Amino acid sequence: THKIILDTDPGIDDAMAIFFAFQSPDIDVLGLTTVYGNVPATMAAKNALSLCELAEVDIPVCKGVAMPWVGPESKYAHFVHGDDGFGNINHPAPVGKIDPRSSAEFIVEMALKYPGEITIVAVGPLGNLALALRLEPDLPKLVKAVNIMGGAVFVPGNVTPVAEANIWNDAYAAEIVLGADWTLNMFGLDVTYDLPFAPNFTNILAQKNPKLGGFVEKAAKFYMDFYSAGKETRQCYFHDAFPIAYIVDPTLFGMTEGNVRVSTDKLNQGQTSFAPHGSTISPDWLEASSINVATTVDHPRLTDLLINRYA
Ligand code: BDR
Ligand code: CA
């Protein structure tokens, strides 16, 4: 099995992805580390704990950074995920306790305990990973890989014309994480916006798995309202499932390798620019380490995988 730490800001597609990981026998989730993003940091931690309780999965849930690396408190995505992060469905508060370790501390502790074994899956802003790199500079040598949902390399952004939300939310942290010398696999809007999911999909999840799929179906109504505005058919995107699916079956994706840098200037904050290997870009720009960027996704096979795992 693949040991992972799931770093998340739940969030509706986060919830869907967390259950996907829990339902995967080939994935061992060591803990959920949480971060501000879709919702404030305290709510993100509580939401993650609620999801564990619903799924009856007893693992550590840690609270993480509450603000970007640089700059003021972020704007949260309540208009996408609801005031509660779950589409305003009045889901009960968790009864258990948040782990006393911070998200960054937990990441470092686990990496030291299982050197070379852990894949960090990060599906929110990247502040916890940046902080973990500061706590333990050897972290890149200690983890197997880092799979992120973030960025928009060859397509427009979703917060600004050039920036995707997770990267935009903490651009300085993202530049640190994308520049670190580890195997980083990046699943951005390049692939996640390529695969819209219709209500039929969440219906099937709910039928196959009334408890977890039923939660996703209920929570995703608000989320689909947001994503369907101005469109003829109802749909939404389950971005955060992609970097987990890559662990289960890397052949679902086409990848291209090169350098990615993140803009920290005001106008282009969070823009992810790509230089393919062998390009004649200035060596100063190429300082960042090499990254595998997902460029294509096998629609039917990913959809089938998600449905089968919820069953
Ligand atoms: C990303 O931003 C969040 O709203 C989603 O949970 C996803 O991680 C998509 O841009
Ligand atoms: Ca997310």
Structure tokens at 116: 């070379």
Higher pLDDT, 285 or 71: 71
Task: Decide if pLDDT at 288 tops 80.
Answer: no
Task: Decide if pLDDT at 281 tops 90.
Answer: no
Calculate how far, in angstroms, residue 284's C-alpha sits from the geometric centre of ligand 2: 31
Atom of ligand 1 nearest to the CA of 10: 6
Residues with catalytic roles: 9, 239
**Mutation probe of ligand 1 site: the residue of 6, 9, 192, 223 with most atoms within 8 A of C-beta:** 9
131: which residues sit within 8 A by CB, 6+ positions away?
Answer: 64, 65, 102, 103, 104, 173
Find tokens 């689909």 and name the residue. 224
Atom of ligand 1 nearest to the CA of 12: 6
Q: Are strands 27-34 and 118-122 parallel, antiparallel or unpaired?
A: unpaired
Report the pLDDT averaged over residues 139-162.
98
Report the pLDDT averaged over residues 47-63.
98
Find tokens 């502040």 and name the residue. 127
Q: Which residues pair with 293 in a beta bridge?
A: 186, 256
Average pLDDT value over all residues in the chain: 97
Rounded to two decimals, the pTM is 0.97
Query: What pLDDT, on the 0 to 100 scale, is given for residue 289?
Result: 81
Query: What pLDDT, on the 0 to 100 scale, is given for residue 277?
Result: 85
Interface ipTM: 0.98
Report the pLDDT averaged over residues 116-141.
98
Report the pLDDT averaged over residues 170-183.
97
What Cα–Cα distance (Å) separates residue 235 from each residue in 82, 217, 228? Answer: 17, 12, 6
Nearest ligand to the CA of 81 is 1
Helix (H) or strand (E) segment spanning residue 121: strand 118-122
Structure tokens at 153: 């390399």
Chain centroid to Cα 122, Å, comes to 4
Query: What pLDDT, on the 0 to 100 scale, is given for residue 285?
Result: 82
Task: Give the residue from 191, 117, 187 showing the smallest Cα distance to 148.
Answer: 187
Is there an atom of ligand 1 within 6 Å of 150 CB? no
Calculate how far, in angstroms, residue 284's C-alpha sits from the geometric centre of ligand 1: 31
Coil, helix or strand at residue 75 = coil
